[in-house]
Amino acid sequence: MRRPIHLPRHAVTIHGLRPAVAIASLFALLAIGQDARPQATSVWQPSAGHAQIALWPGGAPDPQPVAGPERTEVAKDSLVAGRPWTAVENVTRPTITVYSPQKNSFGAAILVFPGGGYQVLAIDLEGTEVCDWLTTRGITCVLLKYRVTDVGPYPKSGPYPESSMALSDAQRAVRLVRMHAAAWRLNPNKIGVLGFSAGGHLVAAVSTYFDRRVYPPVDAADRISSRPDFAIAIYPGHLSLAAARWDAAQGARKFPLPTTHSVAGELTLNPEIPVTRETPPTFLLQNEDDHVDNVDDALAYYVALKNAGVPVEMHLYAQGGHAFGLRPTPLPATHWPALAEVWLRTIGVTGP
Instruction: Compute the distance between CA of residue 332 and CA of residue 320 in angstroms, rounded to an integer.
Output: 8
Residue 192 near residue 110, CB atoms below 8 Å: yes
Element (H, E) at 109: strand 109-113
Strands 140-145 and 109-113: parallel
Specify the pTM. 0.88
Closest CA to 124 of 46, 31, 19: 46
Residues shown for the chain: 352
Instruction: Compute the distance between CA of residue 69 and CA of residue 330 in angstroms, rounded to an integer.
Output: 39
Spell out the per-residue pLDDT of the chain, length 352, in tens.
Answer: 333 333 345 677 666 543 222 222 222 333 333 334 444 578 999 999 998 999 999 889 988 889 999 999 998 888 898 899 999 999 999 999 999 998 889 999 999 999 998 999 999 999 999 999 999 999 999 999 999 988 876 666 665 655 689 999 999 999 999 999 999 999 999 999 999 999 999 999 999 999 999 999 999 999 999 999 999 999 999 898 888 877 777 665 455 555 554 445 678 898 889 999 999 999 999 999 998 888 999 999 999 999 999 999 999 999 998 999 999 999 999 999 999 999 999 999 998 7
Residue 157 near residue 165, CB atoms below 8 Å: no
Contacts of 190 (CB under 8 A, 6+ apart): 4, 106, 107, 108, 109, 229, 349
Look up the CATH superfamily of 10-346.
Answer: Alpha/Beta hydrolase fold, catalytic domain (3.40.50.1820)
Instruction: Compute the distance between CA of residue 148 and CA of residue 72 in angstroms, rounded to an integer.
Output: 13
Domain boundaries of the chain, sorted by first residue = 10-346
Closest CA to 40 of 151, 120, 147, 143: 120
